[in-house]
Amino acid sequence: MIATVVGARPNFMKMAPIIQELKRRGLEQVFVHTGQHYDKQMSTVFFEELLMPQPDVYLGVGSGSHAEQTARIMIAFEKVCLDHRPELVIVAGDVNSTLACALTAAKLNIPIAHIESGLRSFDRTMPEEINRILTDHLCELLFTTEDSGNTNLNREGISPEKVYFVGNTMIDTLTTHLAKALERCPWERYGLQPANYAVVTLHRPSNVDDPATLKELVEALATLGKTLPVLFPMHPRTAAAGKDLWQSLEGVQIVEPLGYLDFLGLMAKAKVVITDSGGIQEETTVLGVPCVTVRRNTERPVTLTTGTNRLVAPIATEIVKAVQKPFQLTGHRPALWDGQAAKRAVDVIESWIKHCH
């Protein structure tokens, strides 16, 4: 039996095609949701829209400090491992649930596979960077999405025999659902015209937890909103940092976090996307939509070299300049971002299981 794990919003899009492919091949799995994210708009909606099965086990750990959340997940997931005795645990991405479950499995000598392995921002102030590095060093099977991942793992001394460049499972999900997302015309609901609005998501602690940085972001949207309608589905962390800061900005609509299909449809028809998310840099690359990433680094360099991404420091004037400077879009898809990544990963998993028995 294989344990598949999800916990927070970006995990769902990365794991859905893996869970479905394991099921299609009749490989037995116990599907675990840690409950790191729990609201309808942060969790349930993705299960409905991505046609994911209900979790077999829901750990319900909820929010907390890093130590509290990680520890609660470990305690709860250890019981799942002892009850089900999986022969492999599959984790995805870089959230606290990823590391917590990997560490728990490693201590029980259960092999681990990591979807979206090898990404590095080289910025250890990001909680995700710590999660990525530690998870990768605990794994038996490391599935990379871009060539930088292979290079990073090699430099860190991880044996190349464990590393499989399979592509990007989040792009499998995008490929499957794009037509359905566009059919919904979600821009109409917000009174927006295709190719004439910006979509914004900002939620990194380094951006929204620091009042001075937050002020720069508000100023940037205040300027941009005067000439281009802006739609800002607001993450709970950003709302908690001061929802009223944004409420009265001209041309800026603040809305609740969106489901997968509406957000994908809105991104696909945007003039520009402004974000500090990891996955959105990749999705805009495949959609061919300009992306301004409000961060000083990215763990996804292929989105800069092959894709549509541009990095900018969290300074109002710089953000405005980066959005307004014309984009020369290459229109290239990174290697193996072709909708077949989960199949390649599960091929490896299946033969690994056969080899073990």
Q: Which stretch binds ligand UD1 (CB under 6 A): 23-31, 37-45, 145-153, 186-194?
A: 37-45
Instruction: Decide: is 127 part of the binding site for ligand UD1 (CB under 6 A).
Output: yes
Q: How far is the CB of 121 from ligand UD1 (least distance, A)?
A: 11
Q: What is the b/e burial string over 147-181, where b = at least 16 CB atoms within 10 angstroms of the residue's CB?
A: bbbbebbeeeebeeebbbbbbbbbbbbbbebbeeb
Instruction: Decide: is 44 part of the binding site for ligand UD1 (CB under 6 A).
Output: no
Q: Which stretch binds ligand UD1 (CB under 6 A): 91-99, 113-121, 288-296, 346-354?
A: 91-99
Instruction: Decide: is 283 part of the binding site for ligand UD1 (CB under 6 A).
Output: no
Taking phi over 0 as left and psi of -120 to 50 as alpha, with beta for the rest, 32 belongs to beta
Residue whose C-alpha is closest to residue 92's, from 166, 147, 157 = 166
Tokens representing residue 317 in the block:
């004037």
Instruction: Decide: is 170 part of the binding site for ligand UD1 (CB under 6 A).
Output: no
Tell which one of 2, 4, 5, 9 touches ligand UD1 (CB under 6 A): 9
In this structure, are residues 199 and 266 in contact, taking their beta carbons and an 8 Å threshold? yes
Instruction: Decide: is 35 part of the binding site for ligand UD1 (CB under 6 A).
Output: no
CB neighbours of residue 269 within 10 Å: 20
Instruction: Decide: is 207 part of the binding site for ligand UD1 (CB under 6 A).
Output: no
Residue whose C-alpha is closest to residue 177's, from 53, 303, 267, 291 = 267
Tell which one of 10, 186, 265, 290 touches ligand UD1 (CB under 6 A): 10
Look up tokens 């116990």; give the residue.
30
> What are the catalytic residues?
203
DSSP-derived pairing of the beta strands 141-144 and 57-58 = unpaired
Give 162's DSSP letter: G
Cα dihedral 10, 258, 62, 15, rounded to 10, equals: -30
Site size for ligand UD1 (CB under 6 A): 20
Tokens representing residue 284 in the block:
């805009």
Q: Which stretch binds ligand UD1 (CB under 6 A): 8-16, 109-117, 152-160, 304-312?
A: 8-16
* Side-by-side strand order, sheet with 252-255: 252-255, 230-233, 198-201, 272-275, 291-294, 309-312
Q: How far is the CB of 47 from ligand UD1 (least distance, A)?
A: 13
Instruction: Decide: is 202 part of the binding site for ligand UD1 (CB under 6 A).
Output: no
Instruction: Decide: is 14 part of the binding site for ligand UD1 (CB under 6 A).
Output: no
Q: Which stretch binds ligand UD1 (CB under 6 A): 50-58, 232-240, 311-319, 345-353?
A: 232-240
Tell which one of 24, 28, 39, 313 touches ligand UD1 (CB under 6 A): 39
Instruction: Decide: is 243 part of the binding site for ligand UD1 (CB under 6 A).
Output: no
Instruction: Decide: is 185 part of the binding site for ligand UD1 (CB under 6 A).
Output: no
Q: Considering beta carbons, is residue 161 or 244 the nearer one to ligand UD1?
A: 244
Q: Residue 67, class by beta-carbon neighbours within 10 Å (0-12 exposed, 13-18 middle, 19+ buried)?
A: exposed
Instruction: Decide: is 173 part of the binding site for ligand UD1 (CB under 6 A).
Output: no
Instruction: Decide: is 104 part of the binding site for ligand UD1 (CB under 6 A).
Output: no
**Helices 9-24, 341-356: crossing angle, 10 deg rounding:** 60
Instruction: Decide: is 210 part of the binding site for ligand UD1 (CB under 6 A).
Output: no
d(CA 296, CA 308): 16
Tell which one of 23, 237, 333, 343 touches ligand UD1 (CB under 6 A): 237
In this structure, are residues 143 and 345 in contact, taking their beta carbons and an 8 Å threshold? yes
Q: Considering beta carbons, is residue 4 or 96 the nearer one to ligand UD1?
A: 96
Tell which one of 20, 29, 34, 96 touches ligand UD1 (CB under 6 A): 96
The strand ranges marked E within the chain are: 2-6, 29-33, 57-58, 88-92, 112-117, 141-144, 163-165, 198-201, 230-233, 252-255, 272-275, 291-294, 309-312
Q: Which stretch binds ligand UD1 (CB under 6 A): 31-39, 102-110, 173-181, 309-317?
A: 31-39
Tell which one of 95, 171, 294, 342 touches ligand UD1 (CB under 6 A): 95
Binding site for ligand UD1 (CB under 6 A): 8-10, 36-39, 42-43, 63, 94-96, 127-128, 203, 235-237, 240
